[in-house]
Structures are given as C-alpha cells and as structure tokens.
Amino acid sequence: MTGRALNRLTGAPSPLPGFSVAGLWVAEHGGLLNGLSVPAGTPLLPDARGVLTWTSHAGPACTVTFPVPLETLAPLGSLETALTGLAGEGRWADWLQVSPLDRNLADELHRFPLEDQMAQDLTHLEAVCRQPRTHLEIFEERQLVSRARQIPVRAVTYLASHTEDWEARTLRGVRPRRVITNVRDDLYDIYENRVAARLVDHLTRYVRVRLARVQALLNGLDTIDLNAQAPPTGMHWRQRRVYQLWGESLDLTEAQLLARERLDELGRLLYRLERLSVSPLYTQIPARRQVPANLRLTNILGNDPHYRRVARLWLAWFRYAHTGFTSIQEQQQTAQHVAAQFDRYALLLTLHALEQFGFAPVTDVALHPGAILQLRGPEGDSELDWHADGTFTLRQAGQVILRVVASPTPLGQLRTEDVDRAASALKTEAATLTAQTLLLYPGEARQTPVAALQAVSSDPTRLHPNLSCLPVSTVDLESVERVARVLRLVLTGARFTAYPPTFDTALTLPGHVIPDGLDSRGAGRWALVHPLSSLPETWGEETERRQRAVDEATRRANISSQDRGAQRRAQRDAENRQNELNEWTAFLTAVEVSGQHLTHLRRCPVCSAGGGALTNWADDQFRCECGDCGATWSVRRCQSCGARHPWLLPHLHTVPTLEAKPGWADQLYGRDVLTLPDPFDLSSYACPDLRGE
Ligand SMILES: [Zn+2]
Ligand SMILES: [Zn+2]
C-alpha cells in the first residue's frame, strides 16, 4: 500500500509514486517526515540522499526516491532577502520593484579566498602527489628462491616443516623451492597522504562547481549584452522588454572580462587537479579512505616543507568551502526554506510577466499564500490565487487558465538516467492534469538536458499537451520572457481560438438583409466572422418600427377605459411590444459586442497597433496582418488532425540561421509566438503535432 499526499501539479490528493521530482508533494495530514514530526501542509521533501520516508497519521508508511542533483543549488543572491521580505505583506507594486535578476551577480566574478590559496599552495600539493613520503614496511612473504633477497632466521624452521616448498632432498640437506623472505614495501596509505588525496577530491569538486557557476554568470552577462543592442532580426520589442529588467549601470564589458578571466583561471586549476588524480600518490590511496574534516596536525604535516603547505590548503578549504555535516532537522529546514523561496521566485517571475501584458490590480492587496489578487488588463479580467500549498493559479471567468508550480530540483543537473526517469515521472503526473500547468525549475537555458524540459505545452517537443516545463534562473535575464510565452499561449492563444465571437438570439431575421460578416450557426445562433463595415439600413428602420409600435401600444394602454378586459389586453400588448423591442436591441448589442471582440482581435499583439487587416475563410480560420510592424496572427485548422492552432509570427528583418536547440524560440521571439513554426522553415504553417512525431 502506498501513502497519499496532495499533488501540487494537479492540485488534488493522489497516491505517492515510488519515484518523483521534489516540490510536487505536500502533506495532507500531519505525520512523520524522514523521522521528524511535521504538521499538515508541509512540503514532502527528500533528505540529502534523495530519499523520503513518510508516515501520515492517516495512512501507511511509504518511501519515495528522488533524483539528487550533481551540484548544490545556485544561490539566489540579492533575491534571498528581497523575497523573504516580500512574503506576507508585499503588494503588487512592492513585488514588481524587485528585479527578478540577482543584483549581486558581479560579486562572484572576483577571485575567492580559496582560489588565492590554491594559487599559492597548489604547487606543493603537486610536489607531494609526485613524490609522497612513505612508510617503509618490511614483511615476510614466500617467494621462489631465485627471487629471494633477504632471508629471516625463521626461514629455516619454517622450511623444515613445509615439504611442499622443497625442490629436492640432497645428501647435505634440503634444496628449497620457495623460502620465506623479507620484502620491503613503500606504504603510501598513511594519514598525511590520505589528506593530500582527499584534498585533491575536495578541491576538484569546489573548482567544478565554481566553474559551472561562473559560466552561468557569463551566460547571463552575455544575454544582457546581447539585449543591450537592437537585434538584426528586428525583434526590438522583445529586446527592450528584456533589457528593461536589467537597467543597471554595471560595467558589462568589465564584468564579462572578469568572468572570462575567472573561467580561464579556474579551467587551469581544474586541469592541474585532474592531472593529480593520476599521480602516484592519488592512485595508491583507495577512494574509500576518508579523512575527517578536522585536520590532525602530525609531525609531517607540521614540518615537512611541502606537506606543511598541503595542510594550509586543507585548512583554507575547511574554512571557505566545507559545508559541514548538518543534522536531519537542519537539512529539512534548509530544504523547506529553499523550496518556499523558489515558490516565491516563481511568483515574482509570473507577476513581472503579467505586468508586461498590461495587467494591473483592481484593488492592491498584500500577497501571501491564500490571497486572491483581482487583475484587469487588455487580455481580460483575471484572478491570481496564491494557494496555501505555494502554487498559484490564474483564472478568467471562474475558469483556471494556468496553474504554476515550482520544483526546487535543477533538472538540468541530474545524471542522464535520472533525467529520463524524472521526465517520465512528470509525464505520468501530467496525465491527470485538467488545466494548463507550468512547471518552473532552477536551471540555465543552455544546459537543458532534454528538449521536453524546456518546452511550452503547444510545442512539438513538449512533455504533455497540458504541461509546460521551463528552467528559470536569477542570473538569466530571459526567465521572465519564457514565463510570458506561456501566458501568451493561455491568454492570447485562447482568445484567438475563441474566434469567431458567437451569440444567441430568439429573433428570426427573415426579410432582413443579413450582412456578409454575420454567419448563421444553426437555430438562433450567430457568429460574426468579419467586422461589419456598416449596419444594414433596414436594421435602422426595424428599430424605428419597433419603437413606434411600443409608443403606440403604450399610448393605447394609458387611455383609461371602463372595459377592464380591454384595458388589460392593451397593457399586455404594450408589454409584448416592449419585449420585441428589447429583443431587437439585445440583438444589436450582441452584434456590437462581437464587433468589439473583432476589433480587439485586430489589435496587433506585438506592437499594439489597432486595425490589422482581417481575412477569414472556411472552418473558422482567419488571418490578420499588422500594418505597422508586419506581424501576422491567425487561426488555422490542420487538415490531418482537425485541430485549430493559433499562430503569431512577428515580422523578422533578417531570418537568422537557427540551430533547433531547446529554447531557440525563446531566444528568437521571446513571448511573442504561439504555435511554434518549423525552425528550418519559419514561414510554414505545418501542424506542430505532426512535426513532433
Ligand atoms: Zn504590429
Ligand atoms: Zn494537425
């Protein structure tokens, strides 16, 4: 039997699987989490080994394994304090004042103290690894006589009793085949050498993590730099939006130089350390020979000129890079904190993306889990619910249009086999999704392991039609833009596919001119497929006719009469005439509202210019083109699968040569794209579902 928990992805309780991704599960009831008692509503997060043991008060005990990332999570930097401060009392405006970018990102580009120490002392570690001190050890071993060098006294008595080692018996005695000999051996496995070998491991790990981080920072800086200039493709709206988030006077060029310098230096250190891992010393010490982090200063470590510096380097590592051993409580606390912070970060990105679409709060309320924020914007009135479990949903007209869930697992930093398992676990969970869901996880766009983990639900490479997965990072300026692309799909995409606007009326319109844009959709249902240039003249006459009839009937009903029956009939007649007029006016209003829908539809989603030229054709398909920026948007029905896909393609001045790597569309179009075109033929409207196969 398995335990149950609240699944954040679906928002409903379900049985815990044997393998999952961290951040998806929340305790429904109180219970024991990795042996610690926790209340209901606690996120179910694994321990440092990636194992979760959970015993709910209301269910049996169960164990879930999680993929463990190869590296520790990158710090949130300046966002750490900002996000903590916002949670609970921050309002819309307060949240939007916080840049989604780590403001201290340049701090990490300087040389860290441990790196200084390595620059000074690494040569000594190299010397030790090349020519280590050894213990001379002499032990006895049975060897062939021809190989024996030094024979201990005991050899004679041993030989006397071991006939199997005799070669032959002669007149004078025994001729031995094998004798006991003294063998000398250099013993490498002494404490000091273990220190050196383990120090190589520790430093290698440190340098690897640092390299990855500086590389991420440099990628971030390059992105900022790239967005500081107008792109040749002409996608300057995207560039301006992205760059606005930066807006700081940090000297980019200098920071980039510094980052490259650091990369070179760390690369050289890594090269030297990797060479040490094939040195005589390192290969002689088994990997399982561990050394406690607290160094014991032995004679050699204190006095030998090389070992002394090795000890100094160890102490520097201990001081600056050793994370220490944490208790289960501390580990859980940290994990819970990291998960909660990442939830907030996901909200911050979403709020910035919403603001880009022109949303503003109706009444500004403090945002906290459980709060509901009413929003108004060009894409329609919406509600943002921040749920108690840390996820949030966007609703329109009572319908959930997007659910956002954050997972603290950096899916790009897992072992290959774990990535595949994680992806298939997510796919399994997504099968029960009822609403469009966005999963955000920490990561760099450039290290996406599989395309499905950086795809929006409409992309050919997506994991599931209802699930979008995107990496976001505090050093990646384009994170907001990626989130905005998902919003674009659920807001604009849904608005496009809602074409044409329809309405119902009980009116019959025989004898009336039906204008071209109005299309009958069966009994009493009409669709406005094209804007009406003007209303038919007969419609105006009809309004006047019905108004006159009302006036006439009202006048008659107001004449007092002795005949009660006649009076009632006259009144009923007046009411009927009024209803007929109302029905007619309601029809005209519906036509007008539908016209407004089309006006909105003709407004360019990229540059907001109105009045795009609309062409419509069979099967509720349409195409609009912006006269200002040249963007085109349309809804097209696929002839093979029958699905209607919304399209939005900004006009590109020059078409870049694309490598269809994960995230190519984010880099080219940003948020301003719906159904992804074929990267090798951007002008083709081929069905993405067929392309994905
Ligand atoms: Zn435009
Ligand atoms: Zn299709």
- pLDDT value, residue 309: 94
Provide the token pair at 388. Answer: 């108690």
Taking the CA of 688 as reference, the closest ligand is: 2
Q: Is 251 or 406 the better-scoring residue by pLDDT? A: 406
Coil vs helix vs strand at 687: coil
Cα(627) to centroid(ligand 1), Å: 7
| Average pLDDT along the chain | 89
Cα(686) to centroid(ligand 2), Å: 8
- For the cut 70, the answer to whether the pLDDT of residue 249 exceeds it is no
For the stretch 485-522, pLDDT in tens is 999 999 999 999 999 999 998 887 766 778 889 988 88
Cα(688) to centroid(ligand 2), Å: 7
Nearby residues for ligand 2 (ion, Cβ within 5 Å): 638, 640-641, 687, 689
Cα(653) to centroid(ligand 1), Å: 14
- pLDDT value, residue 137: 66
> Which residues have C-beta within 8 Å of that of residue 452, sequence separation ≥ 6?
423, 461, 462, 463, 469
- Give 229's pLDDT tier (boundaries 50, 70, 90): confident
Cα(180) to centroid(ligand 2), Å: 83
* Average confidence (pLDDT) over 270-293: 91
For the stretch 118-164, pLDDT in tens is 999 999 999 999 988 887 666 677 777 777 777 777 778 888 888 88
Contact 173, 227 (CB under 8 A): no
Looking up tokens 């080994």 gives: 49
For the stretch 37-95, pLDDT in tens is 999 999 999 988 899 999 988 778 889 999 988 777 777 888 888 898 888 789 999 99
Taking the CA of 693 as reference, the closest ligand is: 2
Cα(674) to centroid(ligand 2), Å: 15
Concatenating the DSSP letter of every residue in 8-45 gives TTTTEEEE--SB--TTSEE-SS-EEETTEEE-TT-B--
Cα(492) to centroid(ligand 2), Å: 20
For the stretch 552-609, pLDDT in tens is 999 988 887 778 888 888 889 999 999 999 999 999 999 999 999 999 999 999 999 9
**Structure letter (DSSP) for residue 629:** T
- For the cut 60, the answer to whether the pLDDT of residue 285 exceeds it is yes
Cα(611) to centroid(ligand 1), Å: 10
- pLDDT value, residue 400: 95
Cα(306) to centroid(ligand 1), Å: 69
Question: pTM of the full predicted structure?
Answer: 0.86
Strand order in the sheet with 4-7: 12-15, 4-7, 25-26
Provide the token pair at 60. Answer: 């049996």
Taking the CA of 637 as reference, the closest ligand is: 2
Cα(625) to centroid(ligand 1), Å: 8
Cα(637) to centroid(ligand 2), Å: 8
Contact 479, 388 (CB under 8 A): no
Q: Is 86 exposed, middle or buried (0-12, 13-18, 19+ CB in 10 A)?
A: buried
For residue 448, the surrounding DSSP H or E stretch is: none
Taking the CA of 685 as reference, the closest ligand is: 2
- pLDDT value, residue 351: 96
CA distance linking residue 310 with residue 155, whole number of Å: 43
Q: Is 573 exposed, middle or buried (0-12, 13-18, 19+ CB in 10 A)?
A: middle
> Which residues have C-beta within 8 Å of that of residue 361, sequence separation ≥ 6?
91, 92, 373, 374, 375, 376
Cα(648) to centroid(ligand 2), Å: 17
Task: Please tell me whether the peptide bond between 231 and the residue prior to it is cis, using omega within 30 degrees of 0.
Answer: no
Taking the CA of 692 as reference, the closest ligand is: 2
Cα(608) to centroid(ligand 2), Å: 30
For the stretch 181-220, pLDDT in tens is 877 667 888 899 999 999 999 999 999 989 988 998 898 8
Q: Is 147 or 108 the better-scoring residue by pLDDT? A: 108
Cα(634) to centroid(ligand 2), Å: 15
- For the cut 90, the answer to whether the pLDDT of residue 650 exceeds it is yes
Cα(610) to centroid(ligand 1), Å: 8
Q: From 415, 370, 360, select the one nearest 391 (Cα to Cα).
A: 370
CA 664 to each of CA 124, 208, 631, 692: distance values in angstroms, whole numbers, following the listed order: 47, 27, 19, 16
Q: What percent of the chain has pLDDT over 90?
A: 54
